Structure 1
Amino acid sequence: MADTPSIVSTIPNLHNTSSTSVNSDPSPQVKPKPRSAVPKGPPLHQIYALPAPIRTFPLPTFYPSNPLSLFHVVYAWVSQLVSPPPTEPTIIHQGVWSAETRSVHIKDPKSIRALWEQGFFGKGNYSRSEPNWLKREQARRGEHNGHVAEAVTVQRREERKLMKWDRARKEQEAIERTRQQEAWVAPVGPAELLALPNSQHDLKPIYPNGSTSESLERIPTINKTTNGAANGVSLSSDTVTTKDADRSTTAEKEIAAASSGMNGHSPRPHTPTNPPKRRKSVRFSPKVESTTFQLFDPPSPHHGVLLNGNTPNGSVSNGVSPLARPIDLGLSQPALESETTAKTNSESELELVDKEHLQLCPEEAFYLVFALGALSILDPATGRPITALDLFALFRQVSYIPPRTIDLQPDDPFLIHYAVYHHFRSLGWVTRPGIKFGVDWMLYNRGPVFSHAEFAIIVLPAYTDPWWRTQGRQPPRRSWHWLHTINRVQATALKTLVLAYVDIPPPFEEGLGAAEVLKRYRVREFIVRRWLSNRNRD
């Protein structure tokens, strides 16, 4: 701890800089289903109480206005002098260098949890961030009822997807109701036909026998002279009685023809005596999946479809209007019982072994070895610990692509990135890789389990020393398009972009220790914000 270098910064701590937050207005239409009651464990501030894998024993604060605080300081100092606390770090974790992945692997489960809970170092190789693959597998097999961050994220995304689907379904229902209300139903009954504003002159071409409105009223009761007047044949009452059904059918067809003529359309010719033509029918197998989709159907929230074309909840997913869809939006989806039972039995027979290890990038590993002394890295070939000096040279060599063993420069990638990492770690920030957001580092106030990252760091070398001017060395040119692209991504993710310029010293002799080398570097911070005229007028 005594040989830890101090990297000078020209700008004060970033803790006073506030970040912009956006309050999302959730839709009041659908309320998410209450989550299942999960037994809560210890609070987060107790699990992640230590910001680093070492413990400190500071003296109490002295208040000049309170004389009793002086006695408190003296008592604490005397007690530590009489019974000094144990030397730190009390536990030194073991890691193995991997040349293939260019990272350090931690395989001891206790060391993995300790390094993650005490500073959020590393990343699980089977996990998104926190090394909890074993816990996820145990929860999936039903061995415990605990929850993990990935499962909670999947559940929240599913609830959000179901909420959007239900909102789209309600919108389609409202549109369908509006269409039904605005739809005009043509009149088909005799009374409705007589109520239309048509004269007797308009009705004569339709009824050549000169029938009047009185005859139209008697059509449902089957007048004896309706068809006979047109053909010049008189019918008796017996004939009317025996052929009552045929004449009623003919009367209904004449009413339909009259209604089409009165609406401004010519009646269609029909031949009721001819038998209807037979149609060919094709019978498909019930195993064929339906491929008919309605354009107004909202997207189905369940992507998994069974072999018979049905959704897991039993409703047909194709060719059904949103009004006929079930409104059961439960998260549980019943699966095939036979396959699930067989899979569960096969998994229960196999013993679950934790295969996950923690991966440390070179900057994190060197900080634990050099600055804190809480890690020892072993050489995979010999099995012996690598010294801090050899580790410093090794990380500088592998930072080039391809790795080089000679002609190392003061601006090699490891040196400038580690200078920024050590700088922000010494200020109390939780520094983690930011490749997900297209930057070099992400800064967390307390850690990723408490809040999102507040700042995104871009590392840029600065050749401000006069020796570089004589050599004509210039930093890599960055365009405004590049800066605007990076800043737009961070503004969308509600993060503040920080440009960290590292002043590169002139070349130094080989063989110097890490402390002597890092003292020559300086870090300068510049915050970049988007300026919007409609938001920054005052």
Structure 2
Amino acid sequence: MADTPNIVSATSNQHDATPASVELTTSTPSQVKEVKEVKTNSHRPPTPKKVPLHQIYALPAPIRTFPLPSFYPNNPISLFHAVYAWVSQLVSPPPVEPSVIYQGIWSPETRSVHITDLKSVRALWEQGFFGKGNYSRSEPNWFRREQARRGEHGGSVAENVTTQRREERKLMKWDRARKEQEAIERTRLLEAWVAPVGPMELLALPNSLDDLKPMFFNTPVTADSVQGFVANGTNSVNAITTTDAPALNGTTSPSSNGIVKAATGVSSTEDGTTPPSEMNGHPPRPRTPTNTSKRRKSVRFSPTIESTTFKLSDPPSPHHSVQSNGSIDSTLANGISSKPQPTELGLPESLESTTNSKANSRTSSELDGQLVDKEHLQLCLEEAFYLVFALGALTILDPATSKPIPSSDLFTLCRQTSYIPPRQADLQPDDPFLMHYAAYHHFRSLGWVTRPGIKFGVDWMLYNKGPVFSHAEFAVIVLPAYTDPWWKAQGRQPPHRSWHWLHTINRVQATALKTLVLAYVDIPPPFEEGLGATDILKRYKVREFIVKRWLSNRNRD
């Protein structure tokens, strides 16, 4: 047996065996099984990596371009490269763009265009960040959030991570505020204490260890405790319980009863002396009795009180509980079952059977465990017309006839719908759609990702690459400018904006770390009817002005 380690070491040196093989030679069968399991787990396939964002959002628009390579005069090779690319495109021209034309449905109720096809929704969002999910803040990821809520892919959704970080930040702020309040309370107690200097106060101090025994019931009385009591004054009373606890000798002393009365609000003890807790005029704080045999708590629950803990996905009305996939269910998300009656919903009793049949048909898909994505992409007027007019990548269908709406008719429809209420005639050159679309087309043509800015109180937000890469850098407000002589002859003036309004808007953008941009759109004089969108839009010009706050400590000479 003594030679076995030498044999194992020799084997490992000659054959260059691994530590695992040495364990197989000298271990029991159970250990051999554990080693095999470890080796098997070590060879698991790696987790597939996620696709980088710059590959998902590689295209800035739903069209593909084939530009020629750059030409450098000081590099003759670049000339041959450009000639080769040009000849190859002449011989085999690239496909006509846009190669894919998406379809949308005009919605007169919401004054927008709805994209219901799931592939079209993802394509328009990933290729230019167009539109907004009707169940989401911006990106249409309601279906992914519901999957994460069910635990299908680990809950890795941007909204969930943001909510978790906000909750952690809120708890951190509460903890910091609690510590600050505790520090202020300690400082206040230290500053409120005054040393006893009067003759009555000095006579009321304990003169012997026997006087201190009722104050320290179950703790040994030493010289240090006496000095601490004299040094701390009234703060020592806080360490005394307010119940009739027995003294060291097993009996209740009168002094202890006097302290109890002083702690409960009585101004003096039974023998007429002032307790130590009221020497300086600061009554002690009331303490909770520790004797649970005399005091019991009873909890009564009312049958009409519902749960006050709700999730973010809970519906606002308990009688109209909408599940994650949009169907109505009688069971609420907070665990309370409340099935509304037909009379509560305002329906006659004769429709009870009809209501039950509809509810059963709506929940049939839910019983199967299948989640249906019912979210659609919602495009504003400017985004929809830009995709139709500038890129030609979208076709809008009329909901009544299910036929495509021509771009000229869509242009007139957008102008009419931009007024509140909509107008059928008397369209002016300064209508809201023309002004906002001129600014939208201007910034889109410059390469900015332009999105609505109602969240920050402005018209448009400008992103460098997109909202998934960084926050918006600029906030744009569109203002009309009547610079044409025709408007001056008519005496037309732009809307009056006060300095208070400008300072308010600029303050909001500075707090959100955004730069305010005033986009002045030069309004042309009235034009004749029948002009196309191209002839009308080329008469508008956009001028940009950046507004920044002036701070005396940062903008000094």
Q: Deviations over 1:394-421 (max 9, x none)?
A: 1011111111111111111100100000
Matched, 1:424 2:433: no
Residue 271 of structure 2 aligns with which residue?
269
State the shift of 1:283 in Å: 5.0
**For 1:478, what is the secondary structure of its paired residue?**
coil
Alignment of 1:300-339 (within 5 A): 304=309
CA distance in 2, matches of 1:346, 1:378: 29
Aligned residue pair count: 392
One of 490, 513, 518 as aligned partner of 2:532: 513
The 1:254/1:388 distance shift into structure 2, 3 A limit, reads: closer
In the alignment, the residues of structure 2 paired with residue 266 and residue 338 of structure 1 have an alpha-carbon distance, to the nearest angstrom, of 54
Secondary structure of residue in 2 paired with 1:488:
helix
User: Given residue 113 of structure 1, which amino acid in structure 2 is its aligned partner?
Assistant: R
Distance 1:266-1:98 versus aligned 2 partners, 3 A rule: closer
Q: 2: CA distance between counterparts of 1:501 and 1:78? A: 44
**Partner residue in 2 for 1:77:** 86
Q: AA paired with 2:110?
A: T
Query: SS in structure 1 opposite 2:125?
Result: helix
Matched, 1:497 2:497: no
* 1:52 aligned onto 2:61: yes
Q: Deviations over 1:192-224 (max 9, x none)?
A: 869xxxxxxxxxxxxxxxxxxxxxxxxxxxxxx
Deviation at 1:266, TM superposition (A): 8.5
**In 2, Cα distance between the equivalents of 1:255 and 1:417?**
81
Q: 1:362 aligns with which of 369, 372, 381?
A: 381
Q: Match for residue 155 of structure 1? A: 164
User: Could you tell me how far apart the structure 1 residues matched to 2:149 and 2:255 are?
Assistant: 71
Moved over 6 A (4+): 175-187, 248-251, 254-257
Letter in 1 for 2:84: Y
Return the alpha-carbon distance in structure 2 between the equivalents of residues 514 and 55 of structure 1.
Answer: 24
In 2 relative to 1, CA 176–481 (structure 1 residues): closer, same or farther, beyond 3 Å? closer
**In structure 1, distance between residues paired with 2:496 and 2:555:** 30
Matched, 1:285 2:281: no
Kindly indicate whether the alpha-carbon contact (under 8 Å) linking 1:107 and 1:356 is maintained by their aligned counterparts in 2.
yes
2:176 to 155, 160, 167: 167
The code of the aligned residue for 2:439 comes to V
The one-letter amino acid paired with 1:131 is P
**TM-score where L is the length of structure 1:** 0.66
* C-alpha displacement of 1:96: 0.4
> After superposition, what is the alpha-carbon deviation per residue over 1:227-256, rounded to whole angstroms, capped at 9, x for unaligned?
xxxxxxxxxxxxxxxxxx99x789954899
**Selected match of 2:424 from 405, 426, 432:** 405
Quote how far apart the aligned CAs of 1:166 are: 3.3
Q: Is 2:50 the partner of 1:41?
A: yes
Residues 171-320 of structure 1 aligned to structure 2 (within 5 Å)? 171=180, 190-191=208-209, 253=254, 268-269=270-271, 284-287=297-300, 304=309
Question: Counterpart of 2:103?
Answer: 94
Unaligned runs of 5+ in 2: 1-46, 197-203, 213-245, 259-266, 273-292, 303-307, 311-332, 337-363
- Give the 3 Å change call, closer, same or farther, for CA 269–116 of structure 1 in structure 2: same
Alignment match, 1:16 = none
Letter matched to residue 461 of structure 1: P
Matched residue type, 2:378: Q
**The residue matched to 1:368 in structure 2 has which SS?**
helix
Displacement, 1:533? 1.3
1:478 aligns with 497
Q: Does the 8 Å contact 2:149/2:155 carry over to 1? A: no
Task: Please give the alpha-carbon distance, in whole angstroms, between the structure 2 residues aligned to 1:126 and 1:255.
Answer: 67
Name the aligned partner's letter for residue 116 of structure 1.
W
Amino acid at match of 2:60: P
Tell me the distance in 2 between the aligned counterparts of 1:451 and 1:396: 33
**CA distance change for structure 1 residues 54 and 338 in 2, over 3 Å: closer, same or farther?**
closer
Q: Which residue of 2 aligns with 1:261?
A: none
Kindly indicate whether the alpha-carbon contact (under 8 Å) linking 2:478 and 2:521 is maintained by their aligned counterparts in 1.
yes
Q: Determine the C-alpha separation between the residues in 1 that align with 2:408 and 2:65.
A: 26
Cα deviation for residue 364 of structure 1 reads 0.2
TM-score normalised over the length of structure 2: 0.64
Aligned counterparts of 1:385 and 1:519: Cα–Cα separation in 2: 25
Q: Hey, what does 2:9 align to over in structure 1?
A: none
- Specify the alignment match of 2:455 in structure 1: 436
CA RMSD of aligned residues (A): 3.8
The residue that corresponds to 2:152 in the other structure is 143
Q: Structure 1 residues 175 and 388, CA, compared in 2 at 3 Å: closer, same or farther? A: same
Establish whether residue 532 from structure 1 lines up as the match of residue 526 from structure 2: no
Residue 450 (structure 1) aligns with: 469
Aligned-pair identity (%): 76
**Change in CA separation of 1:249 and 1:408 when aligned onto 2, cut-off 3 Å:** closer
Cα distance change of structure 1 residues 170 and 405 upon mapping to structure 2, 3 Å threshold:
same
Output the CA distance in 1 between the equivalents of 2:485 and 2:189: 81
Q: Any stretches of 5+ residues in structure 1 without a counterpart?
A: 1-37, 195-244, 258-264, 271-279, 290-302, 306-336
| Contact preservation (8 Å) 1:420, 1:500 | yes
Corresponding residue of 2:8: none
Alpha-carbon distance between aligned partners in 2 of 1:422 and 1:256, rounded to the nearest angstrom: 85
**Contact 2:519-2:542 at 8 Å conserved across structures:** yes
Q: Measured at CA, do residues 97 and 415 of structure 1 come closer, stay the same or move farther in structure 2, by a change above 3 Å? A: same
Report how far residue 146 of structure 1 moved.
5.0
Of the candidates 98, 116, 119, which is equivalent to residue 110 of structure 1?
Answer: 119
